[in-house]
Homo-oligomer: A and B are copies of this chain.
Amino acid sequence: MATITVLLGCSIVLNMLLFVSLYSDGGWESSWTRTAAAEAESVASISCSGHGRVFLDGSILDGKPVCECNACYGGPSCSVFLTECIADADSGDPMFLEPFWVKHAASSTIVVPGWHRMSYEFNDGSLVSKELDARIRMLHAVVGNAVTDGRYIVFGGGATQLLHAAVHALSDPFSPSRVVASTPYYPVYREQTEFFNSQDYKFEGDASLYKNTRVCEGNFIEFVTSPNNPDGQLKKAVLEGQYVKTIHDLAYYWPHYTAVPAPVEEDLMIFTLSKLTGHGGSRFGWAIIKDEAVYERMLNYMSLSTYGVPRETQLRVLKLLKLATENEGKEMFNFGYKTMSNRWRKLSKTMSTSKRFSIQELEPQRCSFSQKLRKPTPAFAWLKCEREEDKDCNAVLNSVNVTGRDGSLFGAESRYVRLSLVKSEDDFDLLLERMGLLVSRENDDSGDRINEIMPRNETIGKYLPSARMNGSYEWDFDHLWQLAGRYI
């Protein structure tokens, strides 16, 4: 009996301890975060077969949140492969990093209460988080890709907003600038400059055309993209001299996409979260600026354009960069490098037997970040159709349900197509499979084998994203954004 009494005593003590743990330690029962946390966990636990995801702000069907499937998957749990679907390699949407963030959900999650930083301004009158500014400087020190000491940092709504703000800041209303970039260049440089139609600057095409010209009047603003979008080459400015100002777009200057030989020390450098962590949807970028007057002009632009970047975005970016800089950044960059080098290796192998198509050549290079010789890992394949008759290379790809971005948008020929290698695993796998079929058809005398393997669409219009949403779908609206989508 004494033993049972002792056991009872112990059990009661354990009861009390568990009770205290449950209702006091952490106080979850009465906490204000509990409902939001439970909601988030609930939607995250819904399975979409590894080919989709449920989001808190996603569509609701019969009162329940539904799976949003990756491209080319459908059905209530995204388990149905849509065989006739287009392999869309147009957008540079770096979803290849999503699995890294899923794996690190606990350390990358933020909780934002309704009263979080409601004010237009931070307490010091600025529009930027000092903590985030400091974290960005630490990030560049860890990676060794840019010098930030003694320089100013401006936040923007992605590189998109900063690119135009930089043109504005470097232009001179009394002597309109000619905006140039060496071919092939990122299409937004041209489209943005033309669209805003300012009196202060005008897009003038390929920088190389002005290389050996004596510039008698007017200023130049040259965009230098390194590594280059679309071809992944490390680039230098083409123009130089007192009338030339340069914007260094370093969106891809991270160990995911290139060897980082040395920190860049240019006067105006632009980076974006989109390509660093994969959070294109967060619309966050930053410019590192040497000259105070240029910095002030860019601040002024941000102020009159959007009055800064949302505070919840800044909070989120701070959290993401904390994780990205952990262990000297090894984990995220290793994940990125491994994924991208595997993809390039697979695509290179597939294309190696083709004579009809070629992709850019890239050599292994020594990287100061990893202290190793590293394989090529470009974000894009810059595909060329080598046959004389294949003047519209994207049309050739379209015929087997692959689509990329037409070379003419980059100031090059339509003989070139940019293929994105940074999208989700599903997207890349499908692209690789279709490119494999295309090459195998080229090497196969019969020429028609592909039609036996894969049903063929004549037009991209048969691609039905509505099946992916399992909800209502407005074609007109979507169509508009598909047009807009070419800017990324």
Asked if residues A469 and B118 are in contact (CB atoms below 8 Å), the reply is no
Given A36-B110, A109-B33, A195-B304: A313 and B310 within 8 A (CB)?
yes
Given A41-B32, A196-B304, A481-B127: A95 and B119 within 8 A (CB)?
yes
Tell me the number of copies of this protein: 2
Q: How far is the CA of A170 from the CA of B471 in the complex (A)?
A: 34
In the assembled complex, the CB of A60 is this many whole angstroms from the nearest CB of chain B, namely 7
By DSSP majority rule, is chain A's interface helix, strand, loop, or mixed? helix
- Complex interface: chain B residues within 8 A of A40 (CB): 33, 111-113
In the assembled complex, the CB of A329 is this many whole angstroms from the nearest CB of chain B, namely 16
Given A113-B108, A197-B173, A304-B192: A310 and B296 within 8 A (CB)?
no
| Binary B-proximity of A1-32 (CB < 8 A = 1, otherwise 0) | 10011011001101100110110001110011
Asked if residues B281 and A310 are in contact (CB atoms below 8 Å), the reply is yes
Asked if residues B113 and A105 are in contact (CB atoms below 8 Å), the reply is yes
Q: Does residue A468 face the partner (Cβ distance < 8 Å to B)?
A: yes
Complex: chain B residue closest to A292, CB-CB = B476
- Complex interface: chain B residues within 8 A of A440 (CB): none
Binds B, one of A272-280, A354-362, A381-389, A405-413: A272-280
Given A114-B109, A157-B306, A304-B195: A124 and B41 within 8 A (CB)?
no
Given A299-B484, A465-B125: A32 and B305 within 8 A (CB)?
no
In the assembled complex, the CB of A443 is this many whole angstroms from the nearest CB of chain B, namely 35
Asked if residues A198 and B198 are in contact (CB atoms below 8 Å), the reply is yes
Q: How far is the CA of A488 from the CA of B34 in the complex (A)?
A: 35
CB within 8 A of A114: which of B41, B105, B157? B105
Q: Does residue A326 face the partner (Cβ distance < 8 Å to B)?
A: no
In the assembled complex, the CB of A281 is this many whole angstroms from the nearest CB of chain B, namely 4
The interface on chain A, measured as residues whose beta carbon lies within 8 A of the other chain's beta carbons, has a size of: 134
Q: Does residue A448 face the partner (Cβ distance < 8 Å to B)?
A: no
Q: Does residue A426 face the partner (Cβ distance < 8 Å to B)?
A: no
- Complex interface: chain B residues within 8 A of A480 (CB): 126, 296, 299
- Complex interface: chain B residues within 8 A of A327 (CB): none
Q: How far is the CA of A115 from the CA of B99 in the complex (A)?
A: 8
Binds B, one of A178-186, A254-262, A315-323: A315-323
Complex: chain B residue closest to A8, CB-CB = B8
- Complex interface: chain B residues within 8 A of A484 (CB): 127, 299-300, 303
- Complex interface: chain B residues within 8 A of A173 (CB): 197
Q: Does residue A102 face the partner (Cβ distance < 8 Å to B)?
A: yes
In the assembled complex, the CB of A9 is this many whole angstroms from the nearest CB of chain B, namely 9
Q: How far is the CA of A222 from the CA of B98 in the complex (A)?
A: 46
In the assembled complex, the CB of A403 is this many whole angstroms from the nearest CB of chain B, namely 13
